[in-house]
Amino acid sequence: MKIENTKAQMRKGVLEYCILGILSNGDAYASDIIERLKGAELIVVEGTLYPLLTRLKNADLLEYRWEESNAGPPRKYYSLSAQGRAFQLELKGTWENLNNAVEQLTSTPS
Where along the sequence are the contacts to other proteins (CB under 8 A)?
12, 30-31, 44-48, 50-55, 58, 69, 71-76
**Do 23 and 78 meet the contact criterion of CB atoms below 8 Å apart?**
yes
| Least distance to other proteins, CB of residue 69, Å | 7
| Least distance to other proteins, CB of residue 89, Å | 23
Q: Which of helix, strand or coil describes residue 64? A: strand
| Least distance to other proteins, CB of residue 30, Å | 7
In whole angstroms, what is the distance from residue 78 CA to residue 90 CA?
20
| Least distance to other proteins, CB of residue 64, Å | 10
Nearer to other proteins, 6 or 69 (CB): 69
**Do 66 and 77 meet the contact criterion of CB atoms below 8 Å apart?**
yes
Nearer to other proteins, 23 or 53 (CB): 53
In whole angstroms, what is the distance from residue 24 CA to residue 28 CA?
10
Nearer to other proteins, 50 or 82 (CB): 50
Nearer to other proteins, 74 or 97 (CB): 74
Alpha-carbon radius of gyration of the chain: 16
In whole angstroms, what is the distance from residue 30 CA to residue 39 CA?
14
